[in-house]
Amino acid sequence: MAEEDWSDCQDCVAGREAACTRLFTRHAAEITRQMWRFTRNRAACEELVHEVLVEAYLSLARYRPQDVPFVHWLRCIATRVGYRFWKAQARRRRAVVNPFGAVA
């Protein structure tokens, strides 16, 4: 699988859409499960999976298989996206609880 991933990464960077589809379809279920743990909401989960895949696509040229397996690299991106989601949720909750910025 690692060789398949690396080959598809190279093809994806070269602009071959079929390789991108294969690469991300291969790992979409795992990333969806990971994002579900952050959201517990179907629409938000789908949005986060999309965000992960876009970030991964934009960063593919910097991926190096000798450092980590592709799926691990992708899960690291997913974790960062999930943490950003949690931080944004916390900011929204604070804004609702304290809409005028007064110190509690």
How crowded is residue 47: how many other Cβ atoms within 10 Å of its Cβ?
Answer: 15
Q: What percentage of residues in the chain have a pLDDT greater than 90?
A: 73
Q: The pTM is what?
A: 0.86
Residue 5 CA to residue 10 CA, distance in Å, equals 9
pLDDT at 93: 84
At 75 the pLDDT is 96
pLDDT digits (tens, 9 = 90+) for 13-62: 999 999 999 999 999 999 999 999 999 999 999 999 999 999 999 999 99
- What 3-state DSSP class applies to 39? helix
Which ranges in the chain belong to alpha helices (H)?
Answer: 2-13, 17-39, 42-59, 70-97
Contact 65, 5 (CB under 8 A): yes
Structure token digits, residue 50: 């999309």
